[in-house]
Amino acid sequence: QAIACAPALADAHQNLGRTLLRLGRFGEAELAFREAARCAPRHAVAQDGLGLALLSQGRHEEAAASFSEALRLDPGADRALVHLADALRRARRWSEATARYREALRYRPDSARLHGCLALALWRLKRHGEAAQAFAQAVRREPARGLWRRRLALAFERQGWLPEARAAFDETLNLDP
């Protein structure tokens, strides 16, 4: 209703886009966020929302471009930075994803998810020692999450650290028998 009354109201388009994202209507959300960005071209939040709609459609490169634009508009937009790292990881741009996850961790050092995603990107780069360290950080921050422990065990195994790998696998079994 608000959009019909005031089409230049970017916030109304953004709200519609967020609602459509939650409903899983990603193509329509994309259109709403594009309209929000058209109405307020300097609004980083609209670009971030557009990136999420694109990412949800599997359009990783376009999403990365949208998140990059959000960061250009607002260099302190840490959510857009995390979203950019995720898009780069999904686009299999491992080195760039690694750099962005490291940058995002400066804003959110206690995020188990960011440490885990960093570890996944490092793993793909075959930097298993660094991946093990990042998985260990994720486990420290979220000890009950079996996924991080399993990945940590695999990273230990890859490094030839068999006692550590066995201990991590045992801890995983204790969490999820």
Q: Is the pLDDT of residue 141 over 60?
A: yes
**Mean pLDDT along residues 107-130:** 95
Kindly report the number of other CB atoms within 10 A of residue 98's CB atom. Answer: 25
Here the tokens at position 38 are 């058209």
pLDDT single digits (tens) 53-109: 999 999 999 999 999 999 999 999 999 999 999 999 999 999 999 999 999 999 999
pLDDT single digits (tens) 21-53: 999 999 999 999 999 998 888 889 999 999 999
- Predicted TM-score of the model (pTM): 0.86
pLDDT, residue 147, reads 87
Residue 108 is classified by DSSP as: -
pLDDT, residue 104, reads 96
Q: Is the pLDDT of residue 3 over 60?
A: no
Q: Is the pLDDT of residue 2 over 80?
A: no
- For residues 157 and 151, what is the distance between their CA atoms, to the nearest angstrom? 10
> CA-based angle 74:75:81, to the nearest 5?
100
> Where residue 173 falls among pLDDT bands split at 50, 70, 90?
confident
> Where residue 176 falls among pLDDT bands split at 50, 70, 90?
low
**Mean pLDDT along residues 107-129:** 95
Burial code of 77-95, b = ≥16 C-beta within 10 A, e = fewer? bebbbbbbbbbbbbbebbe
pLDDT, residue 40, reads 85
pLDDT, residue 1, reads 46
